[in-house]
Amino acid sequence: MKTSTIPTLLGPDGMTSLREYAGYHGGGSGFGGQLRAWNPPGESVDAALLPNFTRGNARADDLVRNNGYAANAIQLHQDHIVGSFFRLSHRPSWRYLGIGEEEARAFSREVEAAWKEFAEDDCCCIDVERKRTFTMMIREGVAMHAFNGELFVQATWDTSSSRLFRTQFRMVSPKRISNPNNTGDSRNCRAGVQINDSGAALGYYVSEDGYPGWMPQKWTWIP
């Protein structure tokens, strides 16, 4: 007696069953073999990014600077996240401080008013370079993180002033964080970041502004 067989659907190669051919596997060849030639090496983040890190950031800078679509995307990103004014919302733990809720609200209003006076000063005293208010710093940081993936700010103390608030901040371009004398990466110094054996950052090597290009390049270590 002849038994009937159920026909099997085959893949494009005419041999492999369609179920096996079309099934997805993370290390397989994909649907229809599109991923057969994609064999990236297994690397850590530093090993994958740092060899071309400088060039990649330079391309991102050039794109945002000279491409209208990219520049507008960054502008919209800033407007959606920060807006025109970065408002402090101070909410202290009044139970922990041992004060009443109404006292905490009054204290919050005083803190927010003092912060606005300091952070949004027309003279930009919060900025070492006297170019930015705190809102401008946040907008710049959001933009920098959007296309470079990082930002760098140094806290400083103004010793030459008698103002009530003397804390200042310096915006540092991430492109200036690099290994001293442009040496290669090592176990404890990668892309200008000094790290210990556990991977914690100990300090940063910041180069002076290289413009104009004929000036000697110097590095400062900032813990």
- In tens, the pLDDT along 154-181 reads 999 998 878 889 999 999 999 899 999 9
- Minimal CA–CA distance to 209: which of 194, 219, 223? 219
Q: Are 130 and 223 contained in the same domain?
A: no
Range of the domain at 220: 177-223
- Please state the rounded mean pLDDT for residues 138-164: 91
What CA–CA distance (Å, rounded) separates 164 from 125?
Answer: 11
> Given this model, what pLDDT does residue 125 score?
93
Residue 189 has pLDDT above 60, yes or no: yes
Q: Are 69 and 129 contained in the same domain?
A: yes
Could you say which of 155, 174, 193 is where a domain stops? 174
170 located within any domain: yes
Contacts of 106 (CB under 8 A, 6+ apart): none
Both structure tokens of 197: 């054996």
Residue 196 has pLDDT above 80, yes or no: yes
Residue 13 has pLDDT above 80, yes or no: no
What CA–CA distance (Å, rounded) separates 168 from 121?
Answer: 12
Q: Are 182 and 156 contained in the same domain?
A: no
208 located within any domain: yes
Domain count across the chain: 2
The better pLDDT of the pair 35, 61 is held by: 61
209 located within any domain: yes
Mean pLDDT of the chain: 88
What CA–CA distance (Å, rounded) separates 105 from 92?
Answer: 8
Query: In whole angstroms, how far apart are CA 177 and each of 50, 52, 157, 205?
Result: 13, 15, 21, 6
CA angle, 135 then 140 then 146, to 5°:
130
- Please state the rounded mean pLDDT for residues 31-49: 83
> Given this model, what pLDDT does residue 3 score?
60
CA angle, 177 then 178 then 179, to 5°:
145
Q: How confident is the model at residue 27 (pLDDT cuts 50, 70, 90)?
A: confident
Q: Are 133 and 153 contained in the same domain?
A: yes
Backbone dihedral angles phi then psi of residue 87, each to the nearest 5 degrees: -90, 130
Q: How confident is the model at residue 15 (pLDDT cuts 50, 70, 90)?
A: confident
pLDDT in tens, 121-134: 999 999 999 999 99
